[in-house]
Structure 1
Amino acid sequence: MSPNNWIPSSKSLQRPLRLSDSTKSINVSISVDEQNCLIARALDDDVNEVVSKLTAADRQVIRKQITRMLRLTERDEKDVSDFQNIHQQAKQKGFGRLFRSPSLFEDIVKSILLCNSSWTKTLSMARALCKLQPELIKDDDNDSNSSKPKSVENFPTSRELTNLMNKDLMRELRNNLGYRADYILKFARKIERGELNIQFLEEAPWEQVYKLLMKNKGFGPFVCANVLACIGFYHKVPADTETIRHLQEAHSMKSNRKTVGKDVKEVYDQYAPFQSLAYWFELLGGYESKFGKLSELDNSKYDFVTATRKPSPFLRKQ
């Protein structure tokens, strides 16, 4: 989802990341060189000028965001090792990490965008939020004569959404997100008012996190399971119609909305506490058997990658 942009030709990920002044962002390209070293490059019309302006604090904040996105902590490394010890196929494929956002708030909002929506619509809603984000910064600027440089379109923070006062922008947000806009705004306000400590969600036991999330309107089992996986808790499979379809096709089960909870436990509890990782390993394999290697797919074709679509000849050639 936006603002992530995978470039197949260069095998690089491009997206804006926040600087130490969280109101500012810079476009960054992330790739791996021939020595298998991770490289992050600032992207701008004058890259040298941008890099020279980055402070030590900026660099530290950028590294922290990349570390989170790619799950490069010791805890993540242990999870990969532990999961692959009980899932040999995943070990053979080198699978064990789920990509996530630079911030938990972005992960949470994107999980809400996934709920009760087509994949095409979800992609569209994420793009709309990123397009709106620079306007949210202007809306929060008390100095109307401010000569701020043109902002990079990033995913909005809870603060930026909470400070949304412009009626036209509010109308645009609701037009793009529908009923989800109110759920997201309410959650953002809880964070900014100090009623919910989002950092605590990344540190508390998973059962407690799940209960806290479920208390929020718009946060059902599907959304909460996705958020848990983004944090690093893989105990719950985010079950929806796609899960039902997968169980029917891959496991010859007669799953439906009433039985899917029981069915995922039957299939994936053998991989506890990594049930969600095992599910995504299978789901990814299923997509690639239909559409070809996803890392070689141009992002303009992402909305084709759903279980309900038949792969076109163009996609299979990828």
Structure 2
Amino acid sequence: MEEKVAERSASFHFDFNINIELPFAFQLEEAVCSYGFFMMAPNQWDPLSKTLTRPLSSSSSLVSISQRSQTLAVRVHALSPQHQHQHQHQHQHQRHITSQICRMLRLSQAEEKAVMEFRSMTLDLPDRSFAGRVFRSPTLFEDMVKCILLCNCQWPRTLGMAQALCELQLELQNGLPHAVTVSGNAKVETEGFIPKTPAAKETRRKKVAKKGKLLKRKLEFEVDENSQMDSVLASGSNTTLLPTDNGNSEELCSDDSYHHQFPNGKDQYFDRTGNFPSPSELANLDESFLAKRCGLGYRAAYIIELARAIVEGKIQLEQLEKLSEDASLSNYKQLDDQLKQIKGFGPFTRANVLMCLGYYHVIPTDSETLRHLKQVHSRNTTLKNIEIDLEEIYGKYEPYQFLAFWSEIWDFYQTRFGKMNEMPSSDYKLITASNMRSTSEATKKRKRPSRKSQC
């Protein structure tokens, strides 16, 4: 495949294009704007140009992804001086980039099979915005951390924590003036590291914790001190779709999308956002520093322990990805058992991670699931009978129960908030439980005495 490599000013910019052939009926905006992860940093979706922009894992490359007919047009912007000599290994670099993009958009034979089977099962349903592809991250590690960020907080807080982690990664990359690592018993200082995100609202949780261990019972996480898994750093999942060259790469992808998002140039992205941190970048951080800097609260301990286990080779992400290639039920049990060994990975978090790995027969259950069953299916569901209700409603879509459930959720979101692919990023924070209540529910909620008055 031919690639165009062009030097851009003294800061060593090298741009080249990758073209990826797409399966029939694939639509980029449907594949990206299909799950909340696309709203989380460092992802940037531009509704005007219909372009996804983000840096990729283990790379100083920024990619912009758009669609031209049945071709995915990828513009790669390499922003490091080391890329001055990278053309010698360009093919390997392109394969690495393509693998991560295909993982995000689920462009593999196994995922395509799942999409087609699910669509054939739901022909009787009205047209929906959800087409059967669930957007995910370039790496399993980013998926796992983001699944942790989903727990026990509202969506604006989740968005804020993800943004703060990317801001921290940029600070780490540029060299922090403060001692923030635990190596050498360095003292951690957090002055000057104020998250640019909503303040943590965990005061009530701290008060409850003082009264006993009620907090631990309420948390979605299940803590288990034994983690006995082998591991190496994740690499992108293997796919059968490789870059292709049609001789029109310059026509297929332009810089117009960047002018929409970053009028001051591509460097503005990195100056403002940074990348999602890698396991090695988080492994040596002090827990209290990470909790305070990114507003993570108790989640900081789980994230740091996960990162350290990966770096030390106790958790093998590549092995987990390989086990999920055929999405068999026997492999699901094996993967679930391994995830149980990781501190902080309770049933809700594990179900979300396994969904990211391509297992769709288990629906993660939390308060949002209960709300949906009550609001859409008029079920007075509780945590005790939720599995029975889920089976009655979605069992006929086996093994794609989650896809059927999520198609309803996503359709409900579109009705409530408008088309997700057209929503400006400033409105993402409006997707909250209170804004999803019906008028009667909201009125009833306002009439209840506040928790503060009951204390």
Q: TM-score range by the shorter chain?
A: 0.7 to 0.9
**Amino acid paired to 1:131:** E
Structure 2 residue runs of 5 or longer lacking an equivalent are 1-39, 182-266, 324-330, 438-455
Give 1:73-84 correspondences, 5 Å limit: 73-84=108-119
Equivalent in the alignment of 2:190? none
Q: Are the aligned partners of 1:30 and 1:38 in contact in 2 as well (CA < 8 Å)?
A: yes
Q: CA deviation at 1:159?
A: 1.7
Superposed CA offset, 1:158-200 (max 9, x none): 1221133xx5xx5441112110010111111112211121112
Q: Verify: 1:41 aligned to 2:75, yes or no.
A: yes
Give the alignment partner of residue 386 of structure 2, picking from 256, 260, 264: 260
Change (3 A) 1:174 1:89: farther
Worse-matched range after superposition: 286-295 or 199-208:
199-208
Q: Are the aligned partners of 2:363 and 2:405 in contact in 1 as well (CA < 8 Å)?
A: yes
Q: Verify: 1:271 aligned to 2:271, yes or no.
A: no
**Amino acid paired to 1:124:** G
**Amino acid paired to 1:294:** M
Q: Are the aligned partners of 1:6 and 1:12 in contact in 2 as well (CA < 8 Å)?
A: yes
- Scaled by the length of structure 2, the TM-score of the pair is 0.60
Superposed CA offset, 1:28-51 (max 9, x none): 111102x231111134799xx979
Give the alignment partner of residue 372 of structure 2, picking from 220, 242, 246: 246
After superposition, the CA RMSD in angstroms is 2.7
Change (3 A) 1:51 1:180: same
Higher helix share: 1
2: CA distance, partners of 1:197 / 1:80: 28
Q: Verify: 1:155 aligned to 2:276, yes or no.
A: yes
Equivalent in the alignment of 2:291? 174
2: CA distance, partners of 1:90 / 1:38: 29
Equivalent in the alignment of 2:193? none
2: CA distance, partners of 1:206 / 1:283: 24
Secondary structure at 1:88 match in 2 = coil
Equivalent in the alignment of 1:122? 158
Structure of greater Rg: 2
Q: CA deviation at 1:215?
A: 2.2
Change (3 A) 1:74 1:45: closer
**Amino acid paired to 2:52:** L
Superposed CA offset, 1:175-233 (max 9, x none): 12110010111111112211121112122211111121122221111111110110001
Secondary structure at 2:76 match in 1 = strand
Worse-matched range after superposition: 79-88 or 3-12:
79-88
Q: Are the aligned partners of 2:63 and 2:76 in contact in 1 as well (CA < 8 Å)?
A: yes
**Amino acid paired to 2:157:** K
**Amino acid paired to 2:367:** T
Structure 1 residue runs of 5 or longer lacking an equivalent are 141-148, 312-318
Change (3 A) 1:251 1:264: same
Equivalent in the alignment of 2:413? 287
Give 1:193-272 correspondences, 5 Å limit: 193-204=312-323, 205-272=331-398
Equivalent in the alignment of 1:146? none
Q: CA deviation at 1:78?
A: 0.6
Equivalent in the alignment of 2:425? 299
**Amino acid paired to 2:107:** L
Q: Are the aligned partners of 1:222 and 1:240 in contact in 2 as well (CA < 8 Å)?
A: yes
Give 1:55-204 correspondences, 5 Å limit: 55-88=90-123, 92-93=127-128, 95-137=131-173, 138=175, 153-164=274-285, 170-175=287-292, 176-204=295-323
Q: Are the aligned partners of 2:65 and 2:72 in contact in 1 as well (CA < 8 Å)?
A: yes
**Amino acid paired to 2:427:** K
Change (3 A) 1:68 1:251: same
Equivalent in the alignment of 2:201? none
Q: Are the aligned partners of 1:69 and 1:100 in contact in 2 as well (CA < 8 Å)?
A: yes
Worse-matched range after superposition: 242-251 or 254-263:
254-263
Worse-matched range after superposition: 55-64 or 91-100:
91-100
Q: Verify: 1:11 aligned to 2:50, yes or no.
A: yes
Q: Are the aligned partners of 2:373 and 2:381 in contact in 1 as well (CA < 8 Å)?
A: yes
Aligned length: 293
Change (3 A) 1:174 1:15: same
1: CA distance, partners of 2:316 / 2:395: 31
Change (3 A) 1:67 1:52: farther
**Amino acid paired to 1:153:** G
Q: Are the aligned partners of 2:47 and 2:421 in contact in 1 as well (CA < 8 Å)?
A: yes
Superposed CA offset, 1:69-120 (max 9, x none): 0000111111111111212257954711100000000000000000111101
